Amino acid sequence: MSVTAPAGFVAAGVHCGIKENGAADLALVATEDHRPATAAAVFTRNLATAAPVQVSQAHLAETNGRAAAVVLNSGNANAATGADGREHAKRTCDLVAAELGCAQEEVLVCSTGLIGIPLPIEAVASAIAPLTAQAATTTEAGEQAARAIMTTDTVAKQTWVDGDGFTVGGMAKGAAMLAPNMATMLAVLTTDAEAEPAALQAALQRAVDASFNTLSVDGCTSTNDTVIVLANGRAGAAPEADLADALKYACIGLAEQMAGDAEGATKVVRVRVMAAEDNGQAATAARKVAESQLVKCSLYGQDPYWGRIVSELGTAGVNFDPDRVAIAYGNVVVCRDGIAADHDPGLLKDTMSARLIEITCDLGLGRGEGTILTNDLSHGYIDENMRTS
């Protein structure tokens, strides 16, 4: 189940013509009655902000956090497209609003795909009516929407979390340019819980901080990153802490799926730094290791070259004592007090050959902890990104 799991939401996905291969490339998530719900969003921190991000930000400001629908296209980012790009994003919202009978500012818009290429707005416009007509509450409709936002993703990414009397559903896309803060990603979450805009925004930000902002595939941040949540209140009020937890687990589930489907990845890697002086330093050090091309290449080669990890920790800009550091792959400690530690080579080989690897870096300085989710760096990533994609 996906964005249609909570009561009162519909979804759809169709091909409008952006993708030449005929794959679905236009999606809709909306309230079933087309009335605005409480809405919150977190957007990219990239200053080269795409047109749909600018329009969605403006619409949320105009409505004080209310939205009836989210329309999303894949295959074209509508980024670095100037005033025309903004007009195209606004027109997309206008067309959806006309079909649903809601206000234009109650529609949010997202795009993902190639940067710097004008959005083929007529293709998008021609598909709005059939898109809204196909919108349904079924699981299949949610799956169609999730597939329609894929770019280099190989699988659709969906999630749901059952709360105490309410449900959170979600879909996302993302396979590269994944870096704090957020990623080359779109995510739409839905819930039938009741929430006020300020509380929903705070809960979503915490969920993003615990999930998408702890994910880094290649250290690059996109122009279009957007995470949106709609709360229609169909299930009534939910404790704020319970809703926040459900949103967090939904986002973590989507982030883990992104890590598993990253371009060219053969490993999903969790880099955990512990015993740093504080949590901020731990997070900084974990990110430095996770984004190291040398470390990532070693992981692809299944080579437990812990010296590269120690080297990255020493340049992370955090407090560091080389005589206190310990490094472990899984449960195998390979470095203790800054020097090589005796270990079982067979167990280490098995650990390095696994799909999921956890690297633990103990700095021996304090109680700070931080974790970043990442991947290895393979030939497949280079093959995908050596051309426009």
Distance separating alpha carbons of residues 324 and 151, to the nearest angstrom:
44
Q: Coil, strand, or helix at residue 101? A: coil
Contact between 273 and 318 under an 8 Å Cβ cutoff? The reply is: no
Give Cβ neighbours of residue 262 (< 8 Å, ≥ 6 apart).
175, 176, 178, 217, 375, 381
Q: If you count them, how many residues does the chain have? A: 389
Measured from the Cβ of residue 352, the count of other Cβ atoms closer than 10 Å reads: 18
E strands within the chain? Answer: 9-14, 26-31, 37-43, 66-67, 69-76, 107-114, 157-162, 167-173, 186-194, 226-237, 268-276, 326-329, 332-336, 339-340, 356-362, 368-375
C-alpha dist (Å) from residue 386 to 220, 379, 381? 15, 10, 8
Measured from the Cβ of residue 315, the count of other Cβ atoms closer than 10 Å reads: 11
Question: With the CA atoms of 305, 309, 314 and 319 taken in that order, what torsion angle do they form, in degrees rounded to the nearest 10?
Answer: -140
Distance separating alpha carbons of residues 276 and 368, to the nearest angstrom:
5
CA dihedral (224, 1, 4, 248) positive or negative: negative
* Sheet containing 356-362, strands listed edge to edge, beginning at the edge strand earlier in sequence: 339-340, 332-336, 326-329, 356-362, 268-276, 368-375
Q: Is 351 a catalytic residue?
A: no
Which is the catalytic residue, given 92, 132, 184, 284? Answer: 184
Phi, then psi, of 213 in degrees rounded to 5: -80, 0
Contact between 215 and 207 under an 8 Å Cβ cutoff? The reply is: no
The amino acid at 223: T
**Which residues participate in catalysis according to the annotation?**
184
